[in-house]
Amino acid sequence: MRSVTYSMTMSADGCIVAPDGSFDWAAPDEEVFRLATDEVRGAGVHLLGRRLYETMLYWETAEQNPSLDFSTREFAALWQALPKVVFSTTLSAVQGNARLATGSLAEEIERLRAEPGTGDIAIGGAALASQAAAAGLIDEYRARVYPILLGGGVPFFPRSERRVDLELVENRTIGAGVAYVRYRVAR
């Protein structure tokens, strides 16, 4: 069965964006960018909320910029080819290799798990991942922890009354002091 993975960048105090909505503090260096590329390569489909979908639209045409280096063009090509499911109540159409979700998050994940295919079911966006976590649908958390304290903002891990035990899968330092941590949900 395909795993549902949630991977994002976060601050050392657990936020994915600062209180003012900025995330300029999380610009990836070459090694962090390579890790993100490898994660996209390992995904079979990516589930996104509207805000993350709109942020990632840049990559739908990024390869047209002649000044981009090979690794950036490689990420763009992988991202464009990756099937995406967008959860939105305001969008009426999406671009590229994306479709709007037709069912609930749980229904879409159940359907994707039942389909033949390889690669993880990646989920992105704090609000969407929070819904998936609350429903017990996330199998693995992957965090790129930057050495900065934001003092608040949008949390990586959802706040809930539900306890979730995790098993450490991987922990290493990458790039300029970024900790990469993978946890599998203990079942």
* Alpha-helical runs (H) found in the chain: 30-41, 50-56, 70-81, 105-114, 126-134
3-state secondary structure of 175: coil
Over the stretch 60-108, which tens digit does the pLDDT of each residue have? 988 888 888 888 889 999 999 999 999 999 999 999 999 999 999 999 9
| Predicted TM-score (pTM) of this structure | 0.91
Q: What is the pLDDT of residue 64?
A: 81
What confidence tens digit (pLDDT) does each residue in 44-72 have?
999 999 999 999 999 998 888 888 888 88
What 8-state DSSP symbol labels residue 26? Answer: G
Fold of 4-185: Dihydrofolate Reductase, subunit A (3.40.430)
All structural domains of the chain with their residue ranges: 4-185
All residues at 6 or more sequence positions from 160 whose CB lies less than 8 Å from its CB, including other chains: 133, 134
Predicted confidence (pLDDT) per residue in 139-187, tens digit: 999 999 999 999 999 998 877 778 899 999 999 999 889 999 999 999 8
Q: What is the pLDDT of residue 117?
A: 84
